[in-house]
Chain A
Amino acid sequence: MGEAHITVRNLTMAYGSFVLMRDLDFTVDRGDVFIIMGGSGCGKSTLLRHLIGLIQPAKGEIWYGDHNFTAAEPEEREAMLRRFGVLYQSGALWSSMTLAENIGLPLGEFTDLSPKEIREVASLKLALVGLKGFEDYFPSQISGGMQKRAGLARAMALDPEVLFFDEPSAGLDPISSHLLDQLILELRDSLGATVVVVTHELASIFAIGSNSVFLDPGTKTMIASGPPRELLAHHDDPRVQEFLRRGEKG
């Protein structure tokens, strides 16, 4: 057992009076690649939005290390946010800026690097995701998969401590998606980052996941947690087995 990095306590997620999930309780250890699994529409993206503070919990708390994120004062919260890198489901690049500017913006805001150095770092990050030479393209001039990769480059801009990915491999071909998995592991190892990933892809789940939680919309709570391989081998809930073994029969 490593040291707890993210602790979710008794979390209830709701949109207005519509409760999506209740009683979520889990811990993400430092250096984990933590997978959030569950069927479409069950609230995975919503859980991610809670973890990065875009939505306040209806009930419960989220802790980073020994800091209470849910109850943090604005300044403390902002300092915590700065250590996050987020890749959104749609990429969410700033459309009025070139790729280099997208990556350079957080660098310019939070470091003392000169414009020239910022551009160098931006080029490096783009090269890491296979987009060397695309520095001066606008997001609208590249494909959806490329936008996703550029989004990843931006998420890594400040060498974050926690990386959040919402369906990173959606829209990527199998080879790129495999490379992305490798990249995620690489980042975890080189930055010592904790990684939280929302994904459906079984291949990714087993390739990179060191721990996971499974959300079930029927009971509106998590019905399983633990390393994906162990869930596959030992968990006896049919819903979990069906999810993890789909494609095996066909």
Chain B
Amino acid sequence: MSSASVDTERAGATLHLRIGGSWDLEAGIPTLDSFAAELGKGPTDRVALVGDDLGAWDSSLLTYLVRLDALCAQSQLEVDRSGLPEGVRRLLALAEAVPERSGARGDAVDEPLLARIGPATLTSRDAGREMIAFVGEATLSFGRLFTGSARFRRSDLLVFIQQAGAEALPIVTLISFLVGLILAFVGAVQLQQFGASIYVADLVGIAMVREMGAMMTGIVMAGRTGAAYAAQLGSMKVTQEIDALRTMGIAPLDFLVLPRMIALAIMMPLLCLYADVVGILGGAAVGIGMLDLSPTAYYLQTNAAVTVGHLVGGIFKASVYGVLIALAGCLRGMQSGNSSSAVGEATTNAVVTSIVAIIVACGIFAVLFYVLGI
């Protein structure tokens, strides 16, 4: 069978359009150029379609005819489809049966810069307000925990504690050991020049306990647990499980967010303490293996350098980071849209939000501790 063809034939003010050959999407859709050119040649008020030579056809023909229709409607021409096969006519009628919903089609036009800045500003103001409202509600929910009226399942809490605690140990071990190792390496190269290698123990000890232990655990948990929280709550939203809680009169914040927040607030300090120890061991591995320090000397030096104040400060930070991670994960999950791609986005947003929150909090703590002289 020959390929798709469209021939025009003029009879007075009527333009006959002979549609023939076999129409195949894979062979492409013919353009309307020749037809438009023919239209321009003389006055026309009617277009008659003739499909006598039409072979096999598929959506390419329909698409062509829809385009043709639009063009004819523009120049207010009458289109006579009676010469087309029954099947083609019926499909076209079906496509036209339901009128387009006004406002349903997205506007493709590029808006001017100012018109885009306005809504974007309003959106970010709303997002900020939503975030503050969420933090407020979470605080109230935390308050209900102490008055005993918060409703959640204790067994859920235990599961979250298990997930955020024991199951996070391997990755926390790996990361903090390596961080201790890296710190020691970087310090060792410098300190060796002055024959002060023993101070590697101070460097690693103080850095781990004051900052890096809490921070690295926070970042690991943001990627691991914060993201999981966002994904869990996001998909619960998609499946209407959150709606179901709400209509049962169970506050989703108490039932879903509170146990997650508690789990992280309890487990983060413990993980941080653990990370501190593992990090110091990482430092010791370098000190003992590479700098030929004796284990006892390294231990004594660390012991003298690290104070209880450092330790408590670090652990306190870790629990704040824990709450921040849980809040960010749950907030993004609850804000998620109703589709699987929205859940993916919520997960990404959760990680970004929690890491930003951790870094900002870390900065605030640095200033605060400095002012307080800790």
Interface residues of A (CB under 8 A from B): 18, 49, 52-54, 78-79, 81-82, 84, 86, 88-96, 105-106, 109-110, 154, 217
Contacts and interface: CB of A to CB of B under 8 A. Distances in A.
B239 A53 contact: no
B144 interface: no
Given A18-B103, A109-B151, A88 B248 contact: no
Contacts of A92: 239-241, 243-244
Nearest to A102: B244
A88 B250 contact: no
Contacts of B248: 81-82, 105-106, 109
A88 B243 contact: yes
A152 to B, nearest CB: 12
Contacts of B245: 94
A86 B103 contact: no
Which 8 pairs of residues, A with B, have the shortest CB-CB distance? A92-B240, A81-B249, A92-B244, A78-B249, A88-B240, A82-B249, A86-B247, A52-B247
Contacts of B153: 105
Given A88-B244, A93-B244, 8 more contacts: A49-B243, A54-B246, A88-B243, A92-B243, A94-B244, A95-B239, A96-B156, A109-B249
Given A92-B239, A95-B239, A109 B244 contact: no
A113 to B, nearest CB: 15
A89 B241 CA distance: 11
Interface string B220-257: 00000000000000001001110111111110000000
Contacts of A82: 248-249
A156 to B, nearest CB: 12
Contacts of A88: 240, 243-244
B249 A86 contact: no
Contacts of B244: 86, 88, 92-94, 154
Contacts of A217: 101
Interface residues of B, number: 17
Point out which of A49, A88, A92 has the most chain B C-beta atoms below 10 A from its C-beta.
A92
Contact of B243 (A54, A93, A105): A54
A167 B241 CA distance: 17
A174 B192 CA distance: 83
A94 B241 contact: yes
Nearest to B151: A109
Contacts of B241: 92-95
Contacts of A54: 243, 246-247
Contacts of B247: 52-54, 81, 84, 86
Interface string B139-155: 00000000000010100
Given A94-B241, A95-B241, A109 B246 contact: no
A79 B249 CA distance: 7
Interface in B271-328: none
15 contacts: A18-B103, A53-B247, A81-B247, A82-B248, A92-B240, A92-B243, A93-B244, A94-B241, A94-B244, A94-B245, A95-B236, A95-B241, A105-B153, A105-B248, A154-B244
Interface in B59-103: 101, 103
Point out which of B156, B239, B246 has the most chain A C-beta atoms below 10 A from its C-beta.
B239
Nearest to B235: A95
A52 B246 CA distance: 10
Contacts of A105: 153, 248, 250
A86 B243 CA distance: 10
Nearest to B250: A109
Contacts of A106: 248, 250
Interface string B96-123: 0000010100000000000000000000
Nearest to A19: B103
A110 B244 CA distance: 15
A88 B241 CA distance: 9
Contacts of B156: 96
Nearest to A101: B153
A5 to B, nearest CB: 17
Contacts of B103: 18
Contacts of B239: 90-92, 95
A86 B242 CA distance: 13
Contacts of B243: 49, 54, 86, 88, 92
Nearest to A54: B243
A242 to B, nearest CB: 12
Nearest to B245: A94
Contacts of A89: 240
A78 B251 CA distance: 9
A93 B351 CA distance: 28
A96 B249 CA distance: 19
A49 B240 CA distance: 11
A49 B245 CA distance: 13
A140 to B, nearest CB: 11
